[in-house]
Amino acid sequence: MKYVIGVDLGTSAVKVLLVDQNGTVTAQASEAYPLQQPAPGYNEQNPDDWVQGTLTAIQHLLATSGVTASEIEGLSYSGQMHGLVLLDAAGQVLRPAILWNDTRTTKQSEEIMAKMGPRFIEITRNRPLEGFTLPKILWVKENEPEIFAQAATFVLPKDYVRYRMTGQLNMELSDAAGTVLLDIAKKEWSREICAAFGLPLSLCPPLVEATTNVGTITAEFAQASGLCSQTAVFGGGADNACGAIGAGILHPDQAMCSIGTSGVILTYEPDTTTDYHGQLHFFNHAVPNSFYSMGVTLAAGYSLSWFKQTFAPDASFNDFVGSAATSTIGAHGLLFAPYIVGERTPYADAKIRGSFIGIDGKQERSDFVRAVLEGIVFSFKDILDIYAANGKNFKQLVSIGGGAKSPLWLQIQADIFNKDIVRLESEQGPGLGAAMLAAVGLGWFDSLSTCADHFIAVKKVYHPVAEHVAKYAQLHQIYQQIYPQTKGITGALLDYEEQQ
């Protein structure tokens, strides 16, 4: 049998999947790594932790699967997006990576908009939000000039891991779109944006497509991991592009709901004609010559993980999430807004913070868990409403990511969205998508669509329950009042905290 490996470099952990030619996930392993939050709004990781985590997970995968390394023909990646990894001329990392959920860059984001305005959106098809890479580069240039002076190039998280595994330094296109330095229609670095912000074009690495064979595993990494140095390595994709591929989102009428650390509602865009005017993100897909749009809830799975870590660190995840079933729709009068690290969609606001509204002496911890699960999905509903306003009413959504492990959460999605929710055999859409890129890159299939027909299997469909739908519609209207009514209060608290 022949195999491929999909490496999904997430924010909470790296997950590696061993997939055979029939699309069966034969083995999987994962390795967690820490997130550093040195100041409010700051989120950093050590790029070497990603490499060591990937190495350990692959060692474990090989040890437990019984598959010999020479049977593994190809490997590719899915990567958390936007994270800035600055490298010097010798390829050494200059500072911790500044991640997608780091919001220190409000000033730089505003400066980009003030300088380029609508022209910036025309080129990149996105507003310059804090999470994207360009504002992070400008932050380092302004605040750490001695580090910036040493920077020869920059890459994104999975591109850095690929560099360490192959010795080849590139940036893959679907991820490059998330830097907002790319002219997404022309698929090339924007000279105009680089010039506007005094960045040399040489800072931007060579671009490769998702299914491009960039090389093979170095002798050093092969020896350390147990992989074979002949295994072909392919470009890979942004985690949401890979998640879409792994969920089979390959046509405009299909949509995905992903609950990882972040949360995403996404659809396939065949071309650049639909203009969301920067309200949604719009990036190159890892499917050649196509695009996708999406809205992002910054703290989706992260809100739940934070809540569990803070109030029930010893409970098992399944028991903790399952306890919400003992609560009610609306959690006995409790609502949660998941803005705990700021928000992106529909409110591009780095300063908003989360809330529990309606705390009552009768409520129990299970009500709070329920409110967290529901609040995250209400935030997704806000994104679906933007799609609906643009004429896109999907019949169903495919749900992926760690959150898709919970049947209760999947039913809540069906009831709040009033749509069918599809659960796949594997919730690891991004890892499967990465494996599919390697399978297509190797020529096992002539297209990602053909590969999807072989690799993706539905486990169960969750249908909305009319009585629940009506209650959630009423609650969503109340939820929508939280942002405008708490913005001033949470902003003042953040200012207070920053003065301490």
Ligand X SMILES: O=C(CO)[C@@H](O)[C@H](O)COP(=O)(O)O
State the minimum distance, in angstroms, from the CB of residue 100 to ligand X: 3
Of 296 and 424, CB closest to ligand X: 296
Q: Which of the listed partners (ligand ADP, ligand X, none) does 406 bind, with a CB threshold of 5 to 8 Å by partner kind?
A: ligand ADP
State the minimum distance, in angstroms, from the CB of residue 180 to ligand X: 11
CB 109 within 8 A of CB 60: no
| 52 contact partners, CB below 8 Å, separation of at least 6 | none
Using CB under 6 A as the binding rule, the residues of this chain from 266 to 285 that contact ligand X are 281
Of 100 and 291, CB closest to ligand X: 100
Q: Which of the listed partners (ligand X, ligand ADP, none) does 264 bind, with a CB threshold of 5 to 8 Å by partner kind?
A: ligand X
As a whole number of angstroms, the distance between CA 67 and CA 85 comes to 33
> Which DSSP string do the residues of 438-461 spell out, in sequence order?
HHHHTTSSSSHHHHHHHH--EEEE
Is residue 382 near ligand X by the rule CB under 6 A?
A: no
Nearest to 246 by CA among 462, 425, 62: 425
State the minimum distance, in angstroms, from the CB of residue 243 to ligand X: 7
State the minimum distance, in angstroms, from the CB of residue 260 to ligand ADP: 3
- Distances in Å between the Cα of 362 and the Cα atoms of 69, 331, 368, 491 are 57, 11, 12, 29
Shortest Cβ contact with ligand ADP: which residue? 402
List 20, 50, 55, 82, residue binding ligand X (CB under 6 A): 82
One-letter amino acid identity for 308?
K
Of 74 and 301, CB closest to ligand ADP: 301
Residues that bind ligand ADP (CB under 6 A): 10-13, 260-261, 301-302, 304-305, 317-318, 321, 401-403, 405-406, 409
State the minimum distance, in angstroms, from the CB of residue 157 to ligand X: 9
Of 81 and 414, CB closest to ligand X: 81
Query: From the candidates 239, 349, 367, 382, which is the catalytic residue?
Result: 239
State the minimum distance, in angstroms, from the CB of residue 304 to ligand ADP: 4
Q: Which of the listed partners (ligand X, ligand ADP, none) does 131 bind, with a CB threshold of 5 to 8 Å by partner kind?
A: ligand X
Per the annotation, does 171 bind a ligand? no
Of 133 and 399, CB closest to ligand ADP: 399
Nearest to 454 by CA among 181, 246, 191, 243: 246
**363 is written with which tokens?**
């409520």
Is residue 296 near ligand X by the rule CB under 6 A?
A: yes
User: From the centroid of its chain, how far is CA 381?
Assistant: 18
Of 225 and 258, CB closest to ligand ADP: 258
CB 338 within 8 A of CB 383: no
Q: Which of the listed partners (ligand X, ligand ADP, none) does 405 bind, with a CB threshold of 5 to 8 Å by partner kind?
A: ligand ADP
Q: Which of the listed partners (ligand X, ligand ADP, none) does 334 bind, with a CB threshold of 5 to 8 Å by partner kind?
A: none
Q: Is 298 exposed, middle or buried (0-12, 13-18, 19+ CB in 10 A)?
A: buried
Of 261 and 426, CB closest to ligand X: 261
**328 is written with which tokens?**
């009610």
Is residue 131 near ligand X by the rule CB under 6 A?
A: yes
Per the annotation, does 81 bind a ligand? yes
CB 152 within 8 A of CB 87: yes
Q: Which of the listed partners (ligand X, ligand ADP, none) does 403 bind, with a CB threshold of 5 to 8 Å by partner kind?
A: ligand ADP
- Distances in Å between the Cα of 315 and the Cα atoms of 320, 323, 376, 382 are 6, 11, 21, 31
- Report the half-sphere exposure of 228 (CA within 13 A, side-chain side): 15
CB 338 within 8 A of CB 303: yes
As a whole number of angstroms, the distance between CA 245 and CA 235 comes to 14
List 3, 5, 6, 10, residue binding ligand X (CB under 6 A): 10
Q: Which of the listed partners (ligand ADP, ligand X, none) does 82 bind, with a CB threshold of 5 to 8 Å by partner kind?
A: ligand X
- Distances in Å between the Cα of 208 and the Cα atoms of 173, 236, 397, 438, 495 are 6, 9, 30, 14, 43
State yes or no: is 239 an active-site residue: yes
List 73, 239, 269, 367, residue binding ligand X (CB under 6 A): 239
Nearest to 418 by CA among 390, 394, 389, 401: 394
Q: Residues in the site for ligand X, rule: CB under 6 A?
A: 10-11, 80-82, 100, 131, 239-240, 260-262, 264, 281, 296
Q: Which segments are annotated as binding site for substrate?
A: 81-82
**Which residues are part of the catalytic machinery?**
239
